[in-house]
Structure 1
Amino acid sequence: MTTGLGLVLLGAGLAAVPSQLATAAEQTAPLAGESLVQRLKGEAQGAVRLATEPATGKVGFARAARNGDLLPTVQATSARGAAAKAAAYLDRYAVAFGAPAGQLQEAGVAADPLGWTVTYTQRYEGLPVFGAQLKATVDKDGDLTAVTGYVAPDLRLGTTPRIGKADAARRAVATVKVDQTGDGRADLRGLRAVANDLTVYRTGAIRGVAGETVLAYVVEVANGTRSIRDKVFVDATTGKLLNRYSLVHGNHGGPHQELFEAFTDDNGTPDDESDDSVGGLKDPIWKTGDTFPGELDADQQSLVEGTGEAYWFFKNTFGRDSYDGKGAVMKTVNNDPRISCPNANWNGQTTNYCTDVTSDDTVAHEWGHAYTEYTSGLIYQWQPGAMNEAFSDIWGETVDIINDRGNQTPAPKRADGLCSAFSGAIPVLTITAPEAIAKECVTGGTLGELDEPVTGQVVAPTDAVEDGGTATDGCSTYNDVAAAAGKIVLVDRGLCTFVEKAQNAKSAGAIGVIIGNREDAPVSFSDADRTLPPTVSIGLTDREAIRKELATGETVEVEIVDAGGERFESYRWLSGEGDAAFGGAIRDMWNPTCYGDPGKVTDAEYKCSTDDSGGVHSNSGVVNHTYALLVDGGTSNDVEVPGIGLDKAAAVFWRTQTTKLGPTSDFADLADGLAASCTELVGQPISKVSVATDGTPEAAEPVTTTDCAAVDAAAQATELATPPAQCNFKPLLAKGAPGTCGKGTSSKVIWGDDFSKGLKKWKKSERVVFKGGSGINWRATSTAPGRKGNKVAYDPSGDVGQCTEGEGDKSSANAITSPAVKLRAGLKRRLQFRHYMATEAGYDGGNVKIKVNGAKWKVVPAKAYVFNKPNTSLATEAEENTNPLAGEQAFSGTDGGVVNGSWGTSVVDLGKAGAKKGDKIKIRFELGRDGCGGIDGWYVDDVKVVVCKQKKKGGQARREVADVR
């Protein structure tokens, strides 16, 4: 028996929850209806707190007050009794959480000194529902104290796929292959689908927003060395990409360890004289039982010691025997060429490190990802991913604080709101001229030193285009080196590393570097080389504003300063400060804004872009700050938080991670979970945080109700329960289209098509760029997202093509053209259509063209749109866009924060498009794509040409008849 909070697996794959109350289980009213919720509260002993799951509108968290019981009529004194009690509760109230009880299957019962946690997964028609999981907590007195999680509601879909498993795997592999061309080169050898499962998938669940439920293949794609390990979601009906995220987590008589050294050849790849035991690496150079340190170098020694500290921390403090709870061998790879250095990661099999990225908190951080994968399984995207990253920071820094190795001094508790004196600069870039774009930009970085303000003129040099790069990425020698001397250069993100961009600028004599990101948020980076010119990152909108002014010949001037202000001399709560390759810490858990990360949800630093899997490394700052505040105490956001110390804070966070969180949990779930876990821990035995190697836990002071008030205060200070409303994610096409003609008018359709009979009224055409290339024709489909069963026009622009000139290149534009329509007299004439766009942003996209009286085709200008005009201009040929529509205004991209679109209506004033009464017009919908890659395509429906008339008194305007030729 242990005194920690260890978990012991007692069962898996047990019987489904009984379904004795079938009538209640079939209800589908929002939040299951008031009567069911009232019954749930009425049956409980004591007060009940309910929280809504934002992705579904159903209950996501139910917990009883201290000494309460959600189901007092059922007793439980054992693991079997706990399972039976949880089953009885869900038999009554599962529908309140969103699913009938018959769809919930018990996945296991985990015991700890406080009681039991019963986990359920959701299945529909025999298929797993991705990310759906409920956890029920029963304490040792038999009280059901909490039920938390997410399940997908209102499932009504077919389970027979239209595309095969092999086709889905091919598409997933192609997606990963095409995308591995960003900052640094990835090893694509052996890239293949290593797992492929048909599942029910609900879009938006990971982000905590409403979505569509679809049948999908979940394909795990990995290379031979496991440096790539991505989970790709492919629609099993249409074949389109739904989502993708990485499973390689990380920034950058006890345990059974194995240490591998990734010897490399001249090309930087693992030595071929190896076996396949760990990603094709050699046999371990050290394992448990060998003499230590023997001939190990400093990095190797640190990895062995750090892995041991991580093991003993979780074993002593929580009773967990290795990351799987069953004593798994902890395998470590040093000097790993599979990752872009400086960095470290966990890839599902091993933790992997670059040279000089082996400090104690970094090693414990990476093993923290392994423990998270085997407990809560938090998906590495958006808020779940930010919590995944934060738990690793939390456990890594806790180990760093309590061990006696590699500790940087001084490390006293830090004063409120101050940055560490040992942190890098907090760069602020201000555009000072021209006045039209003058502003203070949100920035990331920095590289180099910023002891004094750097001011100067901005130039945007071009360079030789390398394979996969552009003329503006700054990855090779500038075409005009002299023009950069003494200036601040602007380059785009992509192809090479940030350090290489800064080094190229330094070689040209630049005094500073601005790296423009691909998203509206800047990207963060760090490096040890202080000889580089000050280098910062800005977002896409600011980048384009500067480029636009430079293109017109304007002089753009900026100032880069350090806004760090007063500093406090302490290394406490700095992450990665001991890694020489970083040249300093990479995050600050006490004051995350010191590194451009948010300390609370409403901070301006909160990342809303899709970069970094939805800001997992940056937004982790909110959770990191919560833990640091709870441990040390302080005042933040005008909330005073009493410190409760490492022992109690760690116990509360670990219990929350293991018993209250599931794959799609968000910050609000964390807030509820922390409160519930603290209540459950009051008066119960907990262990002191320890890395001692004797395996004997030491009792800590128990948690009190006063401590739980501090937990609540910390969550309030960092706004865990507050949705990130500032992100204001919007659909590409706005909803709520106005009436076609406006008040006081009537509208008459003089020509239209709802595509119910296919494309019979339309003429197809195609343009290709390269000889041997091909496009993709428009077709009628009845499987459009959100319109299944109704035929619509569809031109695909998925992940196809080879990006090589000639056969296989998809640089093309495909169009459908209407017959000629004669415009009749009226107040005005308008074109209206419904559509759905989901394409590669900026490179693929479509627009509407018009031909008047046989003249040349012209793009309908943005000014002619009454509602939902084109959202962008496509990248130009100079930006390496091979789309025939390059540079044209177009609809392009997806809805904000997701990889899919949604339906909207566009309305065009034909008069402003150059057509008047009596004219004959033709309408063309044209979609263009570059050579390879993509997402889905363009769906069009309900096209109408309308004449607007003044309403007659006492009746409607007379009917107009179309003149169609």
Structure 2
Amino acid sequence: MWKVVVESKNQEQIRHLVFVDGINGRIRLHFDMVETSLRRKVYDNYNNPALGLPGYGPVRVEGGAATGVRDVDLAYEYMGDFYYFFKNNFNRDSYDGRGAELVATVRYCESYDDCPYDNDFWSSTKRQIVLGDGTVTDDCVGHELGHAVTDYTAGLCYFMQSGAINESYSDIWGEFIDLTNGKGNDSSSYRWYLFEDDKYGASRNMANPNIFEQPQRMTDYYYYCGIGDNGGVHINSGVGNKAAYLITDGGYFNGYSVRGLGLTKAAQIYYETLTHLLVSGSDYLDLYHALYQACMNLIGRFGITQNDCENVRYATLATEMNRTSTYCVYPKAPICDVGEPVDIFYDDVEGKEYWKLTPVTMLVLPKYLYSSEYARSGKYSLYGENLDVLSDFAISMKKGVSLPVGSALYFHFEHAYDFESEGSTMYDGGIVEYSIDGGRTWYDAGPMIINNGYDGVIYTGAGNPLSGRYAYTGTSFGFTSSRLNISSLAGRNVKFRFRIGNDEAYADDGWYIDNVRIYMCQVKIVDLTGYWVSVKQTCGRTSRCTIKGKFVVQNTGTSNSSAFKIRFYLSNDTIFSSDDLFLKEYSIKSLKSNTSKAISFNVKLTSGLNAAMRHVIAVVDADNVVNETNENNNLLPSVPFL
């Protein structure tokens, strides 16, 4: 009896155990040793719009024989390539990580006027990919199922920059699958082209997005600024695509020389970024930081090194992800001009519910207060819907916040808005209001806004309750942030609310608000010092003298310290010098702001040595490794021994 293990040389996860009769060569036992949840199902709509979704069939299911219909069999095959790429590289079981069935409809048409259909998409409601006639390629199938992976991980909102990153990720997965499955045209002249095997021809190039009028950096002429195509998701994805090309293959671009990491490392970094670091409202600046952090997270795995991470940083600098687009994105409001925030109130909209929907001048209220579709941190944001009926409502604080006196005070929030407008006519919008009497009276906080204030006036001819008022109107082109100086409210108990006014017809998306905070700005400093509680010497008639002491080290600053050391010396006077006798050393890992730590020590002196009339000097931060505001209070002598 012969025992044979059959494995695949390519990415397919094949491992069969076969027992062959050693005399007659017959197979006595055969079974699959791979635990897999791969399940595929393909429908065929024959270019008939009446069939809908999922359509006619299924015409081929997992393990079924080839049908002879090119689009059907290619969809089946390429869904397998997608599955094994994610399984083999990331141990991800289908797009949801839980073995979801892979479903495709081929030769789909939306209408008789648009048939044959020359597009493809992922349907999150039907949980399947939909493919037009002749568009079934490996990178296309990988691209559309890549959207499914994004849905089940970061959930990048398909709008503005987060949507462009969503689209770029699908391009990346599609091309990575294309370059590793050994199928199609992967010659150097076609490398980094997308959908090159499609009957309609290639439509993107990741190495040079400009070929198809996509931007390859944030200040590129081709960077799209508008609300069409969900804010240019299929255009501005070029920035992300160029970065992926540079990280993988390397090259010189925009003043930066990037050494490529290769596809394996690049794939791991992009997967780590998508699954652990991005959220639904992430933008290119977030991706700039996240790609580098993902690389740092993976150092020591998959052969990734610190030098690799530096090249990731060069790629994102070359594509200017750290810069704001020249054409349309609002610059974000700083939190503090100097120092760091000390929060009085902070809500990332992920836990305790601090807000409620309240009617203002009309009783109509939207159904929802929160959204899980578009957020800057975590999963949720506050959501003020742009209704298509006459309405005036607010997202209001449930409880007021008492503001201290003596420091500058600020109110800061991140937000994205898309209110109904047409050209320069702004039909709907939102304003920020505050109350200092428990919510009985409300005042417009517009005059307090010092960064990214109102940007339009609401039209007076459509009945909007905020007609003629300055407000946030039109679109913010994704998430931005605004800051108010509320120092004039010091000593008061204050409530804030986000008020939305809608006219009687039509609507766009609305107002998303996240990471709301009230705070002071404080310059964080460290100041280490200390004082003696006690110190004494005891000497026996025949034994050596012993010094016992208790010293308290303090951090009187407003910031936690890093690690430092304290050394104790015996000195003839109160001035520390290199001739003083070393006694003891202690290591402090960190000392929090405005806290102290007591240190007790016991040291036996050498035979014949007496500390009478001498001092013990404590040297705080003995190696001078902590940056302090006052370096002159680190030498603390004790009283002399009697």
TM-score (norm 1): 0.33
Question: Of the two, which has the highest radius of gyration?
Answer: 2
TM-score of the pair, normalised by structure 2: 0.49
Identify the structure with the greater strand proportion: 2
Larger RCO, structure (CA 8 Å, separation 6 or more): 1
